[in-house]
């Protein structure tokens, strides 16, 4: 609620405009009642001809039009405020996600995020397009109507004053219940979106394990839960309308009774005053009822705003890059890991105090059992994660002192399953050198080096063949070779390589070994190694277990000093391609 109020406060001009239009609407409502009463009196009591009231009728028409026109403007201002508020929340969420895109993408939950940015932000709309303008309208108009009734008949005014608070009291009671239900409804919606996206992404796996039907049932269950939550919210909406209707009917009935008694039995009120009060009373209760209904719609917005604020408060620490330039001198920089620690969060996996130094042109292997933190360490060295303590030193300076573009220009990260974008083969290779003009000769050279020449030769459109989403698929080996082509084009001085654990075809395997050997002539290579061949060749091996660096040294040194390393090798001897 506070966040929504703050936004409303920021748009003071809109609030003033809403107050002004509300004031005009209130004045028009009172004038309208006065005109109707006087026209009826002239025609029915004073038996004047129709022509005698034409000027009043014309004024009434103008008043109707003004009231309608100002009601339209009032609504428009609310819609404008809603649009600004949604814009604000969307911008904040997107900024939050894009400030640290890598951490956001690592956390996953894409379905939930998409729903937050789209549907949940849309839920903010009713607060500003309905509730806020209606609250201003109702508070100003109801006071004006009350004053007008007191002016003509104070007893009716007192009845209104006594019955009117029942509406806000009831609104508060039911509002409390609705808010809880609206929060539950939004939770069900985000969980349904997450589940649906998850199932879509894992469709093949689900099919292969014969879990298709089970998953469909789970999605159905999730959507049923969302339906039930929506029905619960609607139940309160209907209940709330019913009670508001009852209260206002009761109020109008009491006033009619009082006015009727005074007019017919006690005869101490003029026809004009009685008719005027009867014309105003329904308007008075309607305006209060309307704020009640709008309040109900606004409760959903409060729940949505809370959800968005919770997401915004769950702030990741943002990686702030500096503007130091990396030495332009040829050759890779020195790399040092200084007491490097990292955690995925409380009670999650963590890497603890890693110290190591890598000379330029060295070949480093990171080894250890599955889940020991090898890939996490590679991500830390790449600058994708923010260490919880310690730092990565590049040429004796903290990595994050450098300019981000400069750093990523020097580096290439070859993951186990390189990502292929929707586009041509050429586009997918050229992303390694954005903005640079690459000649056909260079392209042919990198295709040759990456072992892609034969594949390209078989394709009708050659390097212009569409791949990725919307194009033809590629095998795991072909993806690896595209990644190698990117590396040959970029010629980085640091190569971070997450060696594939799955067996590649022999051709890709040999291309991979050859290529890495060639790229290593100009670069430092840090490999999460699974092949004995890579491990044996390394100048330095880091042996990790459960996020801790157990041993460090050459293959021989580790065999002699680190028992666990030897045990791992013995266990994997059969599994590792040698
Ligand atoms: N986003 C994440 N949030 C929480 N924990 C994570 C996340 N990513 C990885 N982990 C956990 O961190 C630990 C280390 O993962 P990491 O991928 O670094 O291991 P690894 O040694 O490379 O494993 P493998 O050899 O099987 O690829 C694992 O226990 C993993 O479950």
Give one DSSP letter per residue of 146-191, joined into a string: HHHHHHH-HHHHHHHHHHTTHHHHHHHHHHHHHHHHHHHHHHHHHH
pLDDT tier for residue 258 given thresholds of 50, 70 and 90: very high
Q: Is the pLDDT of residue 159 over 90?
A: yes
Question: What confidence category does residue 501 fall into, taking pLDDT thresholds of 50, 70 and 90?
Answer: low
- Cβ neighbours of residue 48 under 8 Å, at least 6 residues apart? 42
pLDDT over threshold 90, residue 28? yes
Task: Give the number of the atom of ligand 1 that is nearest the alpha carbon of residue 530.
Answer: 25
Instruction: Please state the rounded mean pLDDT for residues 16-27.
Output: 96
Is the domain of 101 the same as that of 51? Answer: yes
Beta strands 389-394 and 524-528 are: unpaired
* Claim to verify: residue 291 and residue 345 sit in the same structural domain: no
The residue-averaged pLDDT of 230-248 equals 85
- Does 70 map to a domain? yes
Asked if residues 280 and 33 have their Cβ atoms less than 8 Å apart, the reply is yes
pLDDT given for residue 471 in this prediction: 59
What integer pLDDT is reported at residue 431 of this predicted model? 86
The pLDDT of residue 114: 83
**Domain shared by 244 and 378, yes or no:** no
pLDDT at 573: 65
User: So what's the pLDDT on residue 330?
Assistant: 65
- Strand arrangement of the beta sheet that strand 363-367 belongs to: 397-398, 389-394, 335-343, 350-358, 548-553, 540-545, 363-367, 524-528, 494-498, 411-414
Residue 319 forms part of a structural domain: no
- Residues 36-50: what's their mean pLDDT? 89
pLDDT of residue 169: 83
Pocket test for ligand 1, best of 354, 376, 496, 544 (most atoms within 8 A of CB): 376
Average pLDDT, the chain: 86
Q: Can you tell me the mean pLDDT for 472-488?
A: 85
Q: Is residue 503 part of a domain?
A: yes
Query: In total, how many domains does the chain have?
Result: 2
Q: Is the pLDDT of residue 469 over 70?
A: no
Q: Mutation test of ligand 1: which of 365, 374, 380, 384 has the most ligand atoms closer than 8 Å to its C-beta?
A: 374
| Same domain membership, residue 390 and residue 255 | no
Binding site membership of 373 for ligand 1 (Cβ less than 6 Å): yes
CATH number (domain holding residue 401): 3.40.50.300
Q: Which of 103, 343, 371, 382 to mutate to test the pocket of ligand 1 (most atoms within 8 A of CB)?
A: 371
Distance 544 CA to ligand 1 centre (A): 12
Residue 530 lies in a domain: yes
Residue 416 has pLDDT above 90, yes or no: no
3-class state of residue 226 by DSSP: helix
Average pLDDT over residues 184-206: 82
344 lines ligand 1 (CB under 6 A): yes
The DSSP secondary-structure symbol of 472 reads B
Which residue has the least CA distance to atom 18 on ligand 1?
Answer: 373
User: Domain boundary at 313, 348, 375, which?
Assistant: 313
Do 254 and 353 share a structural domain?
no
Q: What is the pLDDT averaged over residues 41-59?
A: 89
Q: Output the pLDDT for position 502.
A: 62
Q: What whole-number percentage of the chain has pLDDT above 90?
A: 36
Per-residue confidence (pLDDT) for residue 284, from 0 to 100: 95
Judgement on whether residues 124 and 8 belong to the same structural domain of the protein:
yes
**Nearest atom of ligand 1 to the alpha carbon of 368:** 21
Pair 300, 362 in one domain: no
Question: The dihedral of CA 162, 168, 171, 175: what is its sign?
Answer: negative
Most informative mutation of 346, 373, 496 for ligand 1 (most atoms within 8 A of CB)? 373
Task: Check residues 554 and 208 and name the one with the higher pLDDT.
Answer: 554
Task: Read off the pLDDT of each residue in 394-406 and give the average, rounded to a whole number.
Answer: 90
Residue 577 has pLDDT above 50, yes or no: no
Which token pair is 385? 């994660």
Find the mean pLDDT for residues 371-393: 91
Please work out whether the CB of residue 348 comes within 6 Å of at least one atom of ligand 1: yes
Q: Are residues 339 and 284 in the same domain?
A: no
Q: What's the pLDDT at 575?
A: 45
Q: Is residue 543 part of a domain?
A: yes
130 & 220 share domain: yes
Number of other CB atoms surrounding residue 428 within 10 Å: 24
Q: Is residue 322 part of a domain?
A: no
Task: Assess whether pLDDT exceeds 60 at residue 360.
Answer: yes
DSSP string for residues in 305-341: HHHHHHHHHSPPPPP----BPPP-SSSPPPEEEEEEE
Give the pLDDT score at 165: 87
Domain membership of residue 10 (yes or no) is yes
Answer whether residue 576 shows pLDDT above 60: no
User: Does some domain include residue 41?
Assistant: yes
Ligand 1 in reach of 349 Cβ (< 6 A): yes
Nearest atom within ligand 1 for CA of residue 345: 4
State the pTM of this model. 0.64
Could you give the ipTM of this predicted complex? 0.96
Dump pLDDT digits (tens) for 75-124. 999 999 999 999 999 999 988 888 777 767 666 677 778 888 988 899 89
Kindly state whether residues 259 and 358 are assigned to the same domain: no
Model confidence at 296: pLDDT above 70? yes
Structural domain ending residue among the three candidates 279, 313, 347: 313
Please state the rounded mean pLDDT for residues 228-254. 87
Q: Is the CB of 375 under 6 A from ligand 1?
A: yes
Pair (40, 184) in one structural domain: yes
Of ligand 1's atoms, which has the minimum distance to the CA of residue 349? 12
Supply the CATH number for residue 192's domain. Answer: 1.20.1560.10
Structural domain boundaries, residue 427: 335-572
Is the domain of 249 the same as that of 100? yes
pLDDT of 456 strictly over 50: yes
173-188: average pLDDT: 79
pLDDT tens-digit readout, 320-341: 888 888 766 667 898 999 999 9
């Amino acid at each position: 609620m506070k966040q929504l109020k703050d936004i409303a406060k920021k748009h003071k001009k809109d609030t003033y405009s809403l107050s002004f239009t509300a004031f005009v609407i209130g004045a028009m409502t009172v004038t309208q009642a006065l005109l109707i009463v006087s026209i009826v009196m002239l025609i029915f009591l004073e038996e004047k001809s129709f022509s005698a009231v034409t000027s009043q009728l014309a004024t009434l028409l103008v008043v109707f039009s003004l009231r309608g026109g100002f009601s339209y403007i009032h609504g428009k201002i609310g819609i404008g405020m809603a649009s600004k508020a949604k814009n604000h929340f969307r911008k904040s969420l997107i900024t939050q996600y894009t400030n640290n895109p890598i951490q956001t993408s690592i956390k996953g939950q894409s379905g939930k995020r998409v729903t937050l940015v789209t549907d949940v932000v849309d839920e903010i709309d009713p607060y500003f397009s309905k509730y806020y303008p209606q609250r201003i309208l109702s508070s100003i108009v109801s006071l004006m109507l009350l004053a007008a009734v007191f002016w003509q008949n104070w007893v009716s005014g007192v009845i209104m004053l006594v019955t009117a608070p029942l509406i806000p009291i009831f609104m508060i009671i039911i509002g409390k219940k609705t808010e809880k239900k609206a929060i539950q409804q939004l939770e069900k919606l985000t969980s349904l979106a997450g589940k649906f996206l998850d199932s879509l992404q894992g469709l093949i796996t689900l099919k292969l394990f014969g879990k298709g039907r089970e998953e469909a049932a789970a999605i159905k269950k999730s959507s049923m839960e969302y339906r039930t939550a929506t029905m619960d919210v609607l139940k309160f909406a209907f209940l709330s309308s019913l009670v508001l209707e009852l209260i206002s009917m009761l109020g109008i009935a009491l006033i009619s009774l009082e006015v009727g008694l005074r007019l017919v039995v006690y005869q101490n009120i003029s026809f004009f005053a009685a008719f005027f009060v009867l014309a105003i009373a329904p308007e008075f209760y309607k305006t209060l009822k309307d704020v009640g209904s709008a309040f109900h719609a606004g409760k959903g917005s409060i729940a949505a705003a809370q959800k968005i604020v919770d997401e915004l408060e769950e702030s990741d620490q943002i990686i702030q890059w500096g503007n130091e330039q990396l030495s332009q001198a040829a050759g890779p920089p020195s790399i040092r890991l200084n007491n490097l620690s990292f955690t995925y969060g409380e009670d999650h996996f963590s890497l603890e105090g890693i110290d190591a130094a890598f000379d330029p042109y060295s070949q480093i292997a990171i080894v250890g059992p599955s889940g020991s933190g090898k890939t996490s360490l590679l991500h830390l060295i790449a600058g994708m994660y923010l260490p919880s303590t310690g730092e990565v030193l590049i040429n004796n300076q903290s990595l994050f002192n450098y300019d981000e573009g400069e750093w990523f220009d020097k580096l290439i990260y070859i993951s186990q399953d390189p990502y292929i974008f929707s586009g041509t083969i050429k586009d997918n290779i050229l992303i390694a050198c954005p903005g640079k003009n690459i000649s056909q000769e260079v392209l042919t050279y990198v295709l040759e080096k990456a072992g892609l020449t034969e594949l390209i030769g078989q394709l009708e459109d050659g390097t212009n063949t569409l791949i990725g989403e919307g194009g033809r698929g590629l095998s795991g080996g072909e993806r690896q070779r595209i990644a190698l082509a990117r590396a040959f084009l970029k010629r980085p001085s640091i190569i971070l390589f997450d060696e594939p654990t799955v067996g590649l075809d022999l051709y890709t395997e040999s291309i991979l070994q050859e290529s890495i050997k060639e790229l290593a002539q100009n670069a430092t290579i840090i490999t999460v190694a699974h092949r004995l061949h890579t491990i044996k060749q390394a100048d330095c091996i880091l042996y990790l277990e459960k996020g801790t660096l157990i041993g460090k040294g050459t293959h021989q040194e580790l065999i002699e000093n680190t028992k666990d390393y030897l045990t791992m090798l013995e266990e994997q001897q059969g599994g590792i391609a040698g």
